[in-house]
Amino acid sequence: MSTIPDNNRPVIGISCGDLNGIGLELILKTISNSRLLEICTPVIFASNKAINFYRKALPENNLNFQSLKDFGRLNHKQVNVFNCWEEDVAITPGLLTEAGGKFAVISLTSAVQALKEGHIDGLVTAPINKKNTQGESFPFTGHTPYLKDAFNAREVLMLMVAPNMRVALLTEHVPVTAVGPFITKQNILSKLRLVEDSMRKDFGIDKPKIAVLGLNPHAGDEGLIGNEEEEIIKPAIKEFKQQGNSIVQGPFSADAFFARGYHERFDAVLAMYHDQGLIPFKSLAHGEGVNFTAGLPVVRTSPDHGTAFDIAGKNVADESSMFSAIFTCLDIIRQREEFIANRSNPLKKVSNRFLANAVDERIEEE
């Protein structure tokens, strides 16, 4: 029996993603771990029928859940399924269908509404596919721009998080041929401020060390292979150093930076474009990577992979990233609470620091 009071357990909403992808399979595999109920209350935004479809496909899964249509009946001792729709939906694992995208959006928007209304404390999103979600009713290239719009955020940041690294992106879902115009001093400064703020507020790092990657091969080779480093990136780093309290270094040549393990020397890395950051991140995160949207007034995380239609419905998908996404969401919620408490009571922060030092000293003595 858990010793944590029910009202102290964060309520974590989980959107189901594309019905024909691996989202619901991963969700069921993850939340079937009974220990999860000791630290949070999961709420899946889907339908009973969709949950039962995938539960039958996982014969070893003995998940029990409570169905609800309003949060007045939330059960902190069970997994909850918030029914976003009642109609029958044809689920065809592995196929890209209009229905798969339609109900992924319904799940997501329902979860975001619950987040806005304070019914849930954090959101974990299962993967969606742009081909069957983007349109007139959902004119977004993915979760990040949608959440920015939904919460009227001035600026947001895609921050990839793993136990051994954190990688932020200056540009996200932008074609490589269109990246150049986004490499501006103002954009770099804006993203660096978001990285710095997130490290302090979301990860408890007072004076973060941030690395900035170059845009061109060999970081421009002093202007021989492009001039963005000399004319834009270096001046941005210099100005940020003068304004902020973080340690910022760069621009680094991206290939050598990761190959030599420099990412482990920094609290965060700012990459210039999607694949520059995501290829090494996914290669080195060992299946435990998480996509976190920094800059929002709420906490949202996601696994670092897509819908994986090629393995959907085959009971072979690895839930490690989904598990990490839920735990990262919980960690950031608690860290933000501590950050707010420390701001309102600076003496508490000093006390916590002395306590941590005392614990370290005891460990060393033992």
pLDDT, position 6: 54
Whether the per-residue pLDDT at 7 is higher than 80: the answer is no
Whether the per-residue pLDDT at 363 is higher than 90: the answer is no
The CATH number of whichever domain residue 230 belongs to comes to: 3.40.718.10
How many structural domains compose the chain? 2
SS (H, E, C) the chain: CCCCCHHHCCEEEEECCCCCCCHHHHHHHHHCCHHHHHCCEEEEEECHHHHHHHHHCCCCCCCCEEEECCHHHCCCCCEEEEECCCCCCCCCCCCCCHHHHHHHHHHHHHHHHHHHCCCCCEEEECCCCHHHHCCCCCCCCCHHHHHHHHCCCCCCEEEEEECCEEEEECCCCCCHHHCHHHCCHHHHHHHHHHHHHHHHHHHCCCCCEEEEECCCHHHHHCCCCCCHHHHHHHHHHHHHHHHCCCEEEEEECHHHHHHCCHHHHCCEEEECCHHHHHHHHHHHCCCCCEEEEECCCCCEEEECCCCCCCCCCCCCCCCHHHHHHHHHHHHHHHHHHHHHHHHHCHHHHHHHHHHHHHHHHHHHHC
- Look at strands 290-294 and 300-303 and give their pairing: antiparallel
What digits encode the pLDDT tens for the residues 138-150?
999 899 999 999 9
Q: CB count, 10 Å around CB of 52?
A: 13
Does residue 159 lie within any of the structural domains?
Answer: no
Range of the domain at 7: 1-154+289-366
Does residue 132 lie within any of the structural domains?
Answer: yes
pLDDT, position 168: 98
Contacts of 200 (CB under 8 A, 6+ apart): 206, 208, 339
Whether the per-residue pLDDT at 240 is higher than 80: the answer is yes
Question: What's the mean pLDDT when you consider all of the chain?
Answer: 90
Mean pLDDT of 198-204: 97
* Confidence band, pLDDT 50/70/90 cuts, at residue 345: low
pLDDT, position 348: 52
Are 132 and 179 contained in the same domain? no
Domain end among 284, 309, 337:
284
Are 40 and 112 contained in the same domain? yes
* Confidence band, pLDDT 50/70/90 cuts, at residue 365: very low
pLDDT, position 346: 58
d(CA 237, CA 191): 11
What digits encode the pLDDT tens for the residues 12-44?
999 999 999 999 999 999 998 878 889 999 999
Are 16 and 104 contained in the same domain? yes
Q: Answer with the residue of higher pLDDT: 109 or 173.
A: 109
Are 7 and 92 contained in the same domain? yes
Are 340 and 265 contained in the same domain? no
Whether the per-residue pLDDT at 58 is higher than 90: the answer is no
Are 70 and 128 contained in the same domain? yes
Whether the per-residue pLDDT at 357 is higher than 50: the answer is no
Whether the per-residue pLDDT at 132 is higher than 80: the answer is yes
Does residue 337 lie within any of the structural domains?
Answer: yes
Does residue 203 lie within any of the structural domains?
Answer: yes
pLDDT, position 354: 37
Are 131 and 53 contained in the same domain? yes
What digits encode the pLDDT tens for the residues 333-342?
999 999 998 8
Are 36 and 98 contained in the same domain? yes
d(CA 21, CA 24): 8
Whether the per-residue pLDDT at 362 is higher than 60: the answer is no
Mean pLDDT of 361-365: 35
Whether the per-residue pLDDT at 45 is higher than 80: the answer is yes
The whole-model pTM stands at 0.89
Whether the per-residue pLDDT at 326 is higher than 50: the answer is yes
Does residue 250 lie within any of the structural domains?
Answer: yes
* Confidence band, pLDDT 50/70/90 cuts, at residue 235: very high
Are 260 and 173 contained in the same domain? yes
Whether the per-residue pLDDT at 272 is higher than 90: the answer is yes
What digits encode the pLDDT tens for the residues 66-117?
999 989 999 998 999 999 999 999 999 999 999 999 999 999 999 999 999 9
pLDDT, position 355: 37
Domain end among 284, 315, 341:
284
Are 276 and 297 contained in the same domain? no
Whether the per-residue pLDDT at 361 is higher than 50: the answer is no
Does residue 221 lie within any of the structural domains?
Answer: yes
Are 266 and 358 contained in the same domain? no
Domain end among 235, 253, 284:
284
Are 140 and 32 contained in the same domain? yes
- Flag the least confident range among 10-24, 171-185, 350-364: 350-364
